[in-house]
């Protein structure tokens, strides 16, 4: 999905580069949308996962309490994976020659 978005926005990235945008600015531009989506999905998934795990663990005689740090670690790992994936695609698109993306206009 990150590669597709970078491909769709290649002309925008080319115009921004020609007008003086930095690579870090372009990476932030492309990454913030994905990080918002991942953050929203984490906020939706954590209560559902906690409820499901709590219900499942109630069936056992010897059970443990679910620690909130497990969900924190899972959320941070999901954000890091999304950030690395999107940043790789964004850097690749930002380092491309803007002439190639604007040539067809």
Report the SS3 class of residue 96: coil
Q: What is the pLDDT of residues 36-93, one digit of tens each?
A: 999 999 999 999 999 999 899 888 888 888 888 999 999 999 999 998 988 888 888 7
pLDDT tier for residue 104 given thresholds of 50, 70 and 90: low
* CA–CA dist 81, 1 (Å, integer): 13
The CA distance from 83 to 32, in Å, is 9
Q: Are 26 and 17 in contact (CB under 8 A)?
A: yes
28 confidence band (pLDDT: 50, 70, 90): confident
pLDDT at residue 99 tops 80? no
Q: Output the pTM of the full model.
A: 0.75
Per-residue confidence (pLDDT) for residue 105, from 0 to 100: 58
> Distance between CA atoms of 31 and 71, rounded to whole angstroms?
23
Total count of residues recorded for the chain: 105
Q: What is the pLDDT of residue 52?
A: 93
Beta carbons within 8 Å of 13's beta carbon, 6+ residues apart: 6, 26, 30, 93, 94, 96, 98, 101
| Domain segments of the chain as ranges | 2-102
């Amino acid at each position: 999905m990150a590669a597709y978005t970078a491909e769709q926005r290649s002309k925008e990235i080319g115009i921004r580069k020609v007008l003086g945008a930095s690579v870090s600015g372009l990476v932030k531009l492309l990454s913030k949308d994905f990080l918002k989506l991942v953050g929203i999905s984490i906020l939706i998934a954590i209560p559902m996962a906690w409820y499901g795990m709590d219900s499942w663990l109630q069936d056992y005689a010897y059970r443990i309490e679910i620690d909130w740090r497990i969900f924190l670690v899972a959320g941070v790992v999901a954000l890091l994976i999304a950030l690395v994936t999107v940043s790789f695609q964004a850097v690749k698109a930002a380092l491309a020659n803007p002439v190639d993306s604007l040539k067809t206009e």
